[in-house]
Amino acid sequence: MAALARSVLVTGSNRGIGLELVRQLAASPRPPQHIFATCRDPESPRGKALQELAAQHPSIKLVQLVNLPSIRGAVRAVGSHLKDWGLNLLINNAGVSSHATLRSLDSREMLSAFATNVVGALVSLRQEFLPLLEKAAKGAGKEGLSCSRAAVINISTKLGSIGLCLGVPEAPMYPYRASKAAQNMVTRCMAAELQDKGILCVAIHPGWVKTDMGTEKVLGCAPLTVEHSVQGILTVLASLSQDTSGAFLDWEGNTLPW
């Protein structure tokens, strides 16, 4: 089986789904040559699991990514490893939930969810990562769209689906849902705009997963292990093409309504 991509960058990779994505990518039979694992503070105790993983796999490079100045530093670090190749696959996984209800929400919490779930990833892409993705798309010697050429994957959630509008009484979560719906729109727009540049864009719902976020107290017990969710996500990523760019899929490859 061919490698998913020569180079992959995963945000929010110190725990949860991001950490497992890095773990399974590094352990795959044809691992990417470069796995850039970003988080807010890779050198702190919060980055310990990631540090231990990186110590076992030279393909994993830890990169700090917090705000715009750190994004520029991150892009320089990534670019120096990639040289003329560009970045094939960017997985925007970092995210924050919020359980604010119609009664309890305030503007600070809304803005904070939007800052992390929409603005951070979009600004870093536009200002910094896009040239690396364009370089990969041009240099890959491939036609059509795929993760092995150039792709942006936004980790979304079914709770951001306006079409489904699932479980509002049990989990109103206005800031989380609204910010993820906005992230979905960004995915659709980017897919339309970047298709001609050879860059695929897809939103993926990872399932309801036993991570710190997935086991927050609202709806009961998350059914999916992080290992199972990530196996599914990586299988879906390997299958993506021109036909699925701009889609909203779950970890099993099912299409979800926006």
Ligand X SMILES: NC(=O)c1ccc[n+]([C@@H]2O[C@H](COP(=O)([O-])OP(=O)(O)OC[C@H]3O[C@@H](n4cnc5c(N)ncnc54)[C@H](OP(=O)(O)O)[C@@H]3O)[C@@H](O)[C@H]2O)c1
Binding positions for ligand X, rule: CB under 6 A:
12, 14-18, 39-40, 46, 93-96, 116, 155, 157, 205-206, 208-209, 211-214, 222
Cα(232)–Cα(74) distance, integer angstroms:
28
In the complex, what is the shortest distance from the CB of residue 1 to ligand X, in angstroms, rounded to a whole number?
25
In the complex, what is the shortest distance from the CB of residue 225 to ligand X, in angstroms, rounded to a whole number?
11
Phi-psi category of residue 16: left, alpha or beta, with phi > 0 → left and psi -120 to 50 → alpha: left
Closer of 12 and 172 to ligand X (Cβ)? 12
In the complex, what is the shortest distance from the CB of residue 209 to ligand X, in angstroms, rounded to a whole number?
4
What lies within 8 Å, CB to CB, of 238 at 6+ separation is 1, 4, 147
Closer of 128 and 136 to ligand X (Cβ)? 128
In the complex, what is the shortest distance from the CB of residue 140 to ligand X, in angstroms, rounded to a whole number?
27
Closer of 241 and 255 to ligand X (Cβ)? 255
Closer of 18 and 232 to ligand X (Cβ)? 18
Which burial class, exposed, middle or buried, applies to 122 when counting CB atoms under 10 A from its CB (0-12, 13-18, 19+)? middle
* DSSP element (H, E) containing 77: helix 68-82
Closer of 6 and 177 to ligand X (Cβ)? 177
What lies within 8 Å, CB to CB, of 9 at 6+ separation is 35, 36, 38, 63, 78, 87, 89, 90, 91, 129
In the complex, what is the shortest distance from the CB of residue 256 to ligand X, in angstroms, rounded to a whole number?
11
